[in-house]
Amino acid sequence: MTTKPSVLPLLLAVTAAQRPEIFHSLQGEGPHLGRPSVFVRFSECNLTCHWCDTPYTWNWQERGHEHENHKRYDKALEQVTLDVAQLAAEIRSFPCQNLVLTGGEPMLQQKRIVPVLEQLRGETDAPWYVDLETNGTVLPAASFDRYVSCYVVSPKLSNAKVDERQRIKAEAMTWFANSPKAFFKFVVGDESDLVEIKALVERFNIQQDKVFLLPKASTLEELEANQAVVANMSLQAGYRFSDRLHLRLYGRKRGF
């Protein structure tokens, strides 16, 4: 199959170097916690979670959404476009073949990501391991799915303050629940979150062993305050517990 160059909106990190947010780090959460990986943070999202920890991927000044941090972002500063060849070159500049596609919501750009993955796969005999982090609202196309090794699905609960009809899409959730490649990751603040999680697990018949609970935290202090309670919830409910390693290692720094 031939590939044509296309344009990918990617996130531009506000660092001194003003570079796209493509970086080499350790996976901080979920089934591959601790795995060295190349991360690509895609811009734009189809949800507006009140507590979103990456609002600089979508909460533009002109959008007028009231996030809990009361900030809005300049799209011209926070977003950059790269074509297929540029993005593939950025990814392979790191000595690592584990790739994490994150956001924002990367599934919004799945058609444009396919030729990038095609190009990477065509360049080397060594296999790429591709993790896709998603909010679980968009159905993967077969042409995209063939390149994904693992989906890490993070459905949003009512604490996101987004209408349930937007944040829970039954067709997509059913697809992910039936995919042998999918894991589910939920951020837990309190007992009422756990009640919602159990209802979703039951409704979509998700295997218990594929469910991870993460303490809600945006600082190390919050993580340390909440981790024991959420670890106990995991134990009682039969779900897995995930740490948030990047908070321990890097705090809230972007691009790590």
Which CB, 104 or 115, lies closer to ligand SF4? 104
Report whether 109 contacts 51 (CB < 8 A): no
Q: How far is the CB of 77 from ligand SF4 (least distance, A)?
A: 18
Binding status of residue 45 toward ligand SF4 by CB under 6 A:
yes
Number of Cβ within 10 Å of residue 115's Cβ equals: 21
Binding status of residue 47 toward ligand SF4 by CB under 6 A:
yes
State phi, psi for 102 to the nearest 5 degrees. -135, -175
State CA 157 to chain mean position distance. 15
Binding status of residue 49 toward ligand SF4 by CB under 6 A:
yes
Residue with tokens 């993580």: 223
Q: How far is the CB of 80 from ligand SF4 (least distance, A)?
A: 18
Burial 36-64 (b: 16+ CB within 10 A, else e): ebbbbbbbbbbbbbebbebbbbbbbeeee
Q: Which of residues 94-133 bind ligand SF4 (CB under 6 A)?
A: 103-105
State CA 60 to chain mean position distance. 19
The half-sphere exposure of 123 on its side-chain side, counting CA atoms within 13 A, is 13
Binding status of residue 52 toward ligand SF4 by CB under 6 A:
yes
Question: How far is the CA of 106 from the CAs of 109, 228, 229, in angstroms?
Answer: 6, 32, 31
Q: Which of residues 133-152 bind ligand SF4 (CB under 6 A)?
A: 135
SS3 29: coil
Binding status of residue 156 toward ligand SF4 by CB under 6 A:
yes
How far is it, in rounded angstroms, from Cα 70 to Cα 31?
32
Q: Which of residues 55-84 bind ligand SF4 (CB under 6 A)?
A: 57
What helix, strand, coil percent values describe the chain, rounded to 5? 40, 20, 40
Binding status of residue 44 toward ligand SF4 by CB under 6 A:
no
Binding status of residue 193 toward ligand SF4 by CB under 6 A:
no
Which CB, 20 or 115, lies closer to ligand SF4? 20
Peptide linkage before 255 cis (omega within 30 of 0):
no
Only segment of 31-39, 44-52, 89-97, 113-121 that touches ligand SF4 (CB under 6 A): 44-52
Binding status of residue 153 toward ligand SF4 by CB under 6 A:
no
The footprint of ligand SF4 on this chain (CB under 6 A) covers a number of residues equal to: 12
Only segment of 52-60, 118-126, 175-183, 246-254 that touches ligand SF4 (CB under 6 A): 52-60
Rule CB under 6 A: choose which of 14, 24, 35, 54 binds ligand SF4.
54
Q: How far is the CB of 10 from ligand SF4 (least distance, A)?
A: 14
Only segment of 15-23, 43-51, 89-97, 123-131 that touches ligand SF4 (CB under 6 A): 43-51
Positions that interact with ligand SF4 (CB under 6 A): 45, 47-49, 52, 54, 57, 103-105, 135, 156
